[in-house]
Structure 1
Amino acid sequence: MEQMAEHTVRAYAEELRRLREMVARMGGLAERQVADATTALVRRDAELATEVMSRDAAIDALEAEIEAFCIRLLALRQPVGQDLRLIVAAMKIIHDIERIGDYARNAAKRAIVLAQQPALGSLNGFQRMARLVQENLKGAMDALVNDDANRADEVWAADEPVDEVYNGIFREMLTFMMEDPRNITAATHLLFVAKNLERIGDHATNIAETVHYAVSGETLAEERPKADSSAFAVARPPS
């Protein structure tokens, strides 16, 4: 009887470990999607962008697999305490990751259109923004795997630089539009890409917030720092 109980405990621990690994793998797939969508944009690589779009199905399939695994754990193991929080958190996190995958796919779709348009600007801001959101996503995934609430808190508080880069891109695209109406099509698509990256950053911090709760059992009371001022931007004609 004692051996059976020990075996059950070991099997349960292995299932929780597997759950973390599956969620981390899904996060890794999404991180790669963000990186490749940005590379496709900068290099004007329609072929890579098409590949990014086709890979989104793998993220969706993994989300469904993890969700089914979580439901099975809830039904068979009847978890409590931190184990229960982990499983519930995993179900929330995979939804955020799925949305990140969708935003990366949308950015890749825009990259295909932009590859046919005249080049507009250096796109350095897009590369920096993508790097920041990838770092935040990776940090959130590391916090989940390692039960690290402090790392989750760091990611949660790190969204402001992403917003600052987004604000710069927003102003730059408005300037391009004002300078020459022929820039409007490309600049509009680039604004959508920038907004996709900004939303990816928001979902990364959502994940961090969920990890904090899963580990500590406490919610973050404060509203996270934000610096998106695009809603208040005023278009002024170039002097």
Structure 2
Amino acid sequence: MTIHLEKDLEHLKKEILAMGAVVEQMLNKAISSFVRRRADQAEEVLGEDDVIDRKENEIEEECLRMLALQQPVASDLRFIITVMKVNNDLERMADVAASIASRAKYLATHDPIKLPVDFTKMVEKVQGMVHQSLDALVNMDVVTARKILQQDDDVDQMNRSMYASLEELMIKDSQIIKRAMNALSVSRNLERIADLATNIAEDIIFMVEGHIVRHRYE
């Protein structure tokens, strides 16, 4: 590895980790806006999405430049490919966080509904998966990455339970249909966040071990 490539790789690692930290903060704020009924927090999240879009473009351009000019091989090549994948996953995560914020903003400005299922466990599980995926990326930790893969089914089941409960609630009371649909959208978006955290975990395993694990846990 040349000194120039080594410096570029280190800079790229710092950039993707910084982006991950911002996206995690954005997601936590979006969830807080939903749980605490804070329309002001939801607005903040919606205003941050464009920043992540620009950062994604910058990181992708840097990866493409390195591939073209440095011609990396083996583990260095896998690292750059992984950063490109994680970069895309983080941008999508930010988009989903913005969607949660949009739903939260609507719900915060309307009368609350009594949700038949506690969102707390699902929220904590998803936030934990995101945090673990970023920790695994920092430390290139495949053990933690594999633990994340095993948690995805739990979130899927929580989302199915939420759907069934809200569907029953809407049948009983047509007045709350729009609010319930927004709450259901939040649940579905949390499930999508868990899927993206799982993608990142799979990408980390590819980076460290050199083989693709995507879809093996489905």
Which one is further off, 185-194 or 111-120? Answer: 111-120
- The equivalent of 2:77 in structure 1 is 84
- The equivalent of 2:3 in structure 1 is 10
| Alpha-carbon contact 1:212-1:219 (below 8 Å) kept | yes
> Identity across aligned pairs (percent)?
36
Q: Report how far residue 146 of structure 1 moved.
A: 1.7
Q: Report how far residue 215 of structure 1 moved.
A: 0.9
| Alpha-carbon contact 2:202-2:214 (below 8 Å) kept | no
State the alpha-carbon separation in 1 of the partners of residues 127 and 19 from structure 2: 13
Unpaired runs of at least 5, structure 1? 1-7, 226-239
Select the residue among 27, 39, 46 that pairs with 1:34.
27
| Alpha-carbon contact 1:20-1:144 (below 8 Å) kept | no
User: Once superposed, which parts of structure 1, at least 4 consecutive aligned residues long, lie more than 4 Å away?
Assistant: none
- The equivalent of 1:237 in structure 2 is none
State the alpha-carbon separation in 2 of the partners of residues 141 and 193 from structure 1: 22
State the alpha-carbon separation in 1 of the partners of residues 122 and 139 from structure 2: 26
| Alpha-carbon contact 1:35-1:130 (below 8 Å) kept | no
Secondary structure in structure 1 of the residue aligned to 2:211? coil
Q: CA RMSD in A?
A: 1.8
- The equivalent of 1:45 in structure 2 is 38
Deviations 1:15-34 (A, max 9, x none): 21221221121111111122
In the alignment, is residue 98 of structure 1 matched against residue 91 of structure 2?
yes
Select the residue among 38, 51, 60 that pairs with 1:58.
51
TM-score (norm 2): 0.93
| Alpha-carbon contact 2:78-2:210 (below 8 Å) kept | yes
Select the residue among 187, 198, 213 that pairs with 1:194.
187
Unpaired runs of at least 5, structure 2? none
| Alpha-carbon contact 2:63-2:80 (below 8 Å) kept | yes
Q: Which of structures 1 and 2 has the bigger CA Rg? A: 1
State the alpha-carbon separation in 2 of the partners of residues 197 and 188 from structure 1: 14
Secondary structure in structure 2 of the residue aligned to 1:218? coil
TM-score (norm 1): 0.85
**Matched residue pairs, number?**
218
Q: Report how far residue 167 of structure 1 moved.
A: 2.0
State the alpha-carbon separation in 1 of the partners of residues 26 and 142 from structure 2: 26
State the alpha-carbon separation in 2 of the partners of residues 30 and 124 from structure 1: 27
Secondary structure in structure 1 of the residue aligned to 2:151? coil
Select the residue among 91, 95, 107 that pairs with 2:100.
107
- The equivalent of 1:23 in structure 2 is 16
In the alignment, is residue 214 of structure 1 matched against residue 207 of structure 2?
yes
- The equivalent of 2:165 in structure 1 is 172
Secondary structure in structure 2 of the residue aligned to 1:125? coil
| Alpha-carbon contact 2:117-2:162 (below 8 Å) kept | no
Q: Report how far residue 175 of structure 1 moved.
A: 2.1
Select the residue among 178, 200, 205 that pairs with 2:198.
205
- Paired residue type of 1:60: D
Secondary structure in structure 1 of the residue aligned to 2:2? helix
| Alpha-carbon contact 1:125-1:165 (below 8 Å) kept | no
- The equivalent of 2:130 in structure 1 is 137
- The equivalent of 1:128 in structure 2 is 121
- The equivalent of 1:67 in structure 2 is 60
Q: Report how far residue 157 of structure 1 moved.
A: 1.9
